[in-house]
Amino acid sequence: MQSMTGFGASEKEGFKVEIRSLNHKHIDINIKMPSALMEHDMAIRNMVKDRFARGKFDVGISITDRQQTKVGVNLELAGKIHSAFSELQKNLSLPGSIGIDFFSGYRELIITEEPEYSSEALYQAVSDALSKLQDMRNTEGKNLKSELSARISGLRKLPDDIETEAKDASLRRKESLQKKISDLIPDIPIDESRLAQEIAFLAQKSDITEELMRLRSHIQQFASILSEGGNAGRKFDFILQEMHREVNTIASKSDDIKIINRTIEMKTEIEKLREQAQNIQ
């Protein structure tokens, strides 16, 4: 299991490569490098895609060896510019002289000739940086897996707690109804059969057996995927959404404060799981 957060760097034969990655729903690659290396853009993107399935990647490539760069002047163009302005000066009888400072504003006169670089060295530097990035993401993935495992273990017992509270809720509901009836009409005996019917109706209306069954199934699925490892991020997203849906349904069906408090506790745990799972590839 791999995290989507990491960093890797490498420096080799005149190239410096730094790669950072953050969590992202898909794969997003941003490459910054000198224009002289742009022909390698697609190859480098494919190198990232071959290793990773998800994440936002910022790839920075710079050339550290600039000593061999040659700088020259376009003498032909400089001569034409000088001739044109000399003619203009003569025709308009303009004072002054055309010196070296005059040409400093013409950047197009400067010719830079980049030295030839080894494509193999570039790709090796990128590969090394990707390996270091992958190592860090794997390490972070192990830590996340351990944290998720501890949280899902704690979450397992909450459906059992809710089920226990639901069984006790029927008794609490009966006692509450008996008290309300006695307070309203203290001199009339309570019809126990009628009361039992009302209790049964309310119990059926608030039955959460199916929701608890599906909730336990989702928790088991999450634990199984966690155990298998691999690219599980999207699966976790879906399962946690389903868990949240079932807990919301349980809360909406219940008027018992103890059950509602348990659902709030479960929602909190699910949200913590979601925050951590969002960083899984």
pLDDT in tens, 67-96: 566 777 888 888 888 888 888 888 888 888
Tokens of 227: 């155990």
pLDDT band at 176 (very low <50, low <70, confident <90, very high): low
Is 264 contained in some domain? yes
Please state the rounded mean pLDDT for residues 21-36: 92
Q: Which residues pair with 22 in a beta bridge?
A: 56
Q: Say yes or no: 28 and 131 in one domain.
A: yes
Is 215 contained in some domain? yes
d(CA 278, CA 23): 7
Per the structure, the complete domain to which residue 200 belongs is given by 139-277
| Degrees to nearest 5, angle at CA 186 with 181 and 192 | 50
Which residues, at least 6 apart from 228, have a Cβ–Cβ distance to it below 8 Å? none
Q: Give the gyration radius of the chain's Cα atoms.
A: 36
| Degrees to nearest 5, angle at CA 43 with 42 and 47 | 115
Q: Say yes or no: 131 and 210 in one domain.
A: no
Burial class (CB in 10 A: 0-12, 13-18, 19+), 116: exposed
Question: The pTM is what?
Answer: 0.68
Q: Say yes or no: 85 and 167 in one domain.
A: no
**Residue from 6, 281, 268, 247 nearest 145 by CA:** 281
pLDDT at 201 over 70: no
Determine how β-strand 15-22 pairs with β-strand 55-63: antiparallel
Q: Say yes or no: 203 and 156 in one domain.
A: yes
